[in-house]
Amino acid sequence: MIEDAPHLAGENVIYIDTQLKAFRSGKRQHEVMSQITAGLTDAEIRAAAEW
């Protein structure tokens, strides 16, 4: 587990998809999550959210 990383386990797919895209676009800022999502496509974000 990464200290201070947002805890997304148990959230629904739409919420996770939306939040990951917000980190990617810069609408939400977080040192770890913004870097992780920066290179992800919409399809990769959806796959992660569904997982």
CB 42 within 8 A of CB 21: yes
Contact 17, 42 (CB under 8 A): no
Helices (H), the chain: 13-25, 31-37, 42-50
Q: Which amino acid is at 48?
A: A
Which SS3 state, helix, strand or coil, does residue 37 take? helix
Distances in whole angstroms, Cα of residue 15 to Cα of each of 18, 20, 40: 5, 9, 17
Q: What is the pLDDT of residue 1?
A: 57
Residue-wise pLDDT for 1-51, tens only, equals 567 666 777 889 999 999 999 999 999 998 889 999 999 999 999 999 998
